[in-house]
């Protein structure tokens, strides 16, 4: 069986061809410019393949309510050219096949649960830390949706006592994304994260803020695995700092060996590496195909 997968990111759209087992046969990427230009590239790419279904994991916010007239839309995104874009509708104009749709982070969480670091479990969270911060969650085998979908990157965090940075979120200023996403690092320090590898202070603050978010997610959702991906998380010196800070924030309240003595196996990078989102989109395509077959 052949499925198409789209990881629709704020910086680039990654497209690929794969199967129901999460195997990716090929992949391409296009810069995220305008909806018309990007979707032109995407449809041209997929038209040369015989697809049974298509899966899309998209940046958001997005409308996931099947009863909503705006189902399949990217809605109030900070990217002005993409506000109120009917992403699924534009794809359906070209492809008369089942289309699975969810947030990019929910897709990545699904990919990791099926084939990656959370394989064999029935819950996990996937946090991406890059141009923004997003978190996808799977609880008891189901992706978490609700009124809209979780926006855990925008939770409020306590400021570090020695941090005078005001924050960078256009909606909330000093939320988690406003304090710890890639653009916040650059605005606070005047350089991109990859240029600050040896600056311990940068990563101490980053670990402090990300750990606060993760500790809250552990307290609320009790995931069996915490997976952190995205460009900023490729700074592997971050992981020990995050783990230590999570233990400090929880302060022994969660009496579980995963937190107390095996946290290196609990808070981890993606098992699928950079393919987590694309594999998750394949899983969405697989779900859409079998749902339409019933």
pLDDT at 134 over 60: yes
pLDDT at 294 over 60: no
pLDDT at 54: 98
Work out the pLDDT band at 291, boundaries 50, 70, 90. confident
Question: 117-269 architecture in CATH?
Answer: 2-Layer Sandwich (3.30)
Same fold, 3-103 and 117-269: yes
What tens digit of pLDDT does each residue of 224-263 get?
Answer: 999 999 999 999 899 999 999 999 999 999 999 999 999 9
Q: What mean pLDDT, rounded, does the chain reach?
A: 96
The model's pTM is 0.95
pLDDT at 114: 97
pLDDT at 84: 95
Domain residue limits, the chain: 3-103, 117-269
CATH 3.30.420.40 given to domain 3-103: yes
* Interatomic CA distance for residues 121 and 126, integer angstroms: 13
What tens digit of pLDDT does each residue of 54-89 get?
Answer: 999 999 999 999 999 999 999 988 888 999 999 999
Q: Transcribe the chain into DSSP letters.
A: --EEEEEE-SSEEEEEEE-TTS-EEEEEEEE---HHHHHHHHHHHHTTS--SEEEEEE-SSB---TTSTTTTEE-S-S-GGGTTEEHHHHHHTT--S-EEEEEHHHHHHHHHHHHSTTTT-S-EEEEEESSSEEEEEEETTEE--SSS---GGG-B-PPPTT------BTTTBSBHHHHHSHHHHHHHHSS-GGG-TT-HHHHHHHHHHHHHHHHHHHHHH--S-EEEESSGGG-TTHHHHHHHHHHHHHTT-S--HHHHT-GGGTEE--TTGGGHHHHHHHHHHHHHHHHHT-
């Amino acid at each position: 069986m052949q499925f198409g997968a789209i990881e629709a990111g704020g910086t680039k759209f990654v497209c690929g061809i794969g199967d129901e087992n999460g195997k990716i046969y090929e992949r391409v990427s296009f810069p995220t410019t305008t909806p018309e230009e990007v979707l032109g590239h995407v449809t041209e790419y997929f038209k040369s393949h015989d697809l049974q279904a298509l899966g899309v994991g998209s940046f958001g916010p997005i409308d996931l309510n099947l009863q909503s007239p705006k189902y399949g839309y990217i809605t109030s995104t900070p990217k002005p050219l993409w506000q109120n874009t009917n992403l699924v509708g534009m794809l359906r104009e070209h492809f008369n096949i089942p289309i699975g749709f969810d947030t990019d982070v929910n897709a990545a969480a699904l990919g990791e649960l099926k084939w990656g670091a959370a394989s064999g479990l029935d819950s996990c969270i996937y946090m991406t830390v890059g141009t923004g911060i997003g978190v996808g969650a799977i609880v008891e085998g189901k992706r978490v949706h609700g009124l809209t979908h979780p926006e855990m990157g925008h939770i409020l965090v306590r400021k570090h006592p020695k941090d005078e940075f005001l924050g960078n979120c256009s909606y909330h200023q000093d939320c988690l994304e406003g304090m710890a996403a890639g653009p916040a690092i650059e605005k606070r320090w005047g350089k991109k994260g990859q240029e600050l590898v040896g600056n311990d202070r940068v990563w101490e603050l980053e670990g402090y803020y990300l750990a606060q978010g993760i500790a809250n997610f552990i307290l609320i959702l009790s995931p069996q695995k915490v997976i952190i991906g995205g460009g900023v998380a490729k700074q592997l010196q971050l992981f020990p700092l995050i783990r230590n800070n999570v233990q400090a924030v929880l302060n022994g309240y969660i009496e579980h060996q995963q937190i107390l003595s095996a946290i290196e196996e609990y808070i981890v990078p993606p098992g699928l590496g950079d393919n987590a989102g694309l594999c998750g989109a394949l899983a969405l395509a697989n779900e859409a195909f079998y749902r339409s077959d019933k």
